[in-house]
Amino acid sequence: MDTEEFLYIAGKLLGASVATLSLTACVVPLAFGFGALASWARCSRYRILRALADLYVLIFRSTPMLVQLFVLYYGLSQFEAVRSSFIWPVLRDPYVCAVFAMAIGSGAYVAEVMRGALGAVPKGATEASTSLGMTRIKTFFLITLPIATRSAIPASSSEIVITIKATSLASTVTIMELTGTARDLMGETYDVIEVFVMVSAIYLVLNASIMLLFRTIEARFTIPGYSA
């Protein structure tokens, strides 16, 4: 690989990494929204909501995200009722469809992260707030949420890293992100090893940056001498 070809490939891959980051930026907030909604439902007093939330988590944690994406993008289009409905303009857009498929799938894992974080809150902390006359809402926002957030930081960083890697699945529905662009470059230049080494390096930089950022955040919010 000469210098000109290296710069050409590097330029294409760096441009495609913008699409990867764009997908991640769209998926992560939605995934945490779905996860928070599922966590709320699992704590509901209504059995049907708890059952639906548990079923959601079970289904989407037990099936591959690629299958979920294919069902949403290719499978639903087979039904005339879907094609004639108001949601069809959204579902037929590969970018939007990929974002929602990955967000719904990741949301199931986020729900488990949140369940573990909420379960790590010491019972004595909430009992103490109750004895001080704090309402359930105040207890949640002033006691439970801050403690659970600190507990969830490490697992949240892992979920974001997984999401960045999972964006490679979007190439299966014609979105030319990092992996899809690399596949095209491989066929164009036949520099298989070089292209995928460069792709691996870009993923490494992106994910290492996320892990370093969250490690800094974790250190910032850790209370010395405190153990949940």
Model pTM score: 0.87
Beta carbons within 10 angstroms of residue 201's beta carbon: 12
- Rounded to 10 degrees, what is the CA torsion of 132, 221, 151, 162? 150
State residue 76's pLDDT score. Answer: 81
223 — pLDDT class (breaks 50, 70, 90): low
Helix, strand, coil share of the chain (percent; to 5): 85, 0, 15
pLDDT tens figures, 132-173 = 788 888 888 888 888 888 888 888 999 999 999 999 999 988
pLDDT tens figures, 68-117 = 999 988 888 888 888 888 888 878 889 999 999 999 999 999 999 999 88
pLDDT tens figures, 18-73 = 999 999 999 999 999 999 999 999 988 899 999 999 999 999 999 999 999 999 88
Answer yes or no: are the C-beta atoms of 175 and 73 closer than 8 Å. Answer: no
State residue 1's pLDDT score. Answer: 66
Give first-to-last CA distance, the chain, whole Å. Answer: 53
* Distance from C-alpha of 192 to C-alpha of 190, rounded to nearest angstrom: 6
Beta carbons within 10 angstroms of residue 139's beta carbon: 18
State residue 52's pLDDT score. Answer: 95
**Cβ partners under 8 Å of residue 148, min gap 6:** 114, 117, 118, 120, 121
Tell me how far apart the 2 most distant CA atoms of the chain are, in Å: 72
What three-state secondary structure class fits 40? helix
Nearest to 147 by CA among 185, 111, 117: 117
State residue 165's pLDDT score. Answer: 92
Answer yes or no: are the C-beta atoms of 195 and 152 closer than 8 Å. Answer: no
Is residue 227 scored above 70 in pLDDT?
no
Mean pLDDT of the chain: 88
State residue 226's pLDDT score. Answer: 52
225 — pLDDT class (breaks 50, 70, 90): low
State residue 213's pLDDT score. Answer: 93
pLDDT tens figures, 161-217 = 999 999 999 998 888 899 999 989 888 888 888 898 999 999 999 999 999 999 998
Q: Which domains does the chain have, with CATH numbers?
A: 3-221 (1.10.3720.10)
Angle (CA) 169-171-173 rounded to 5° is 95
Distance of CA 3 to the CA centre of its chain: 36
* Distance from C-alpha of 93 to C-alpha of 221, rounded to nearest angstrom: 40
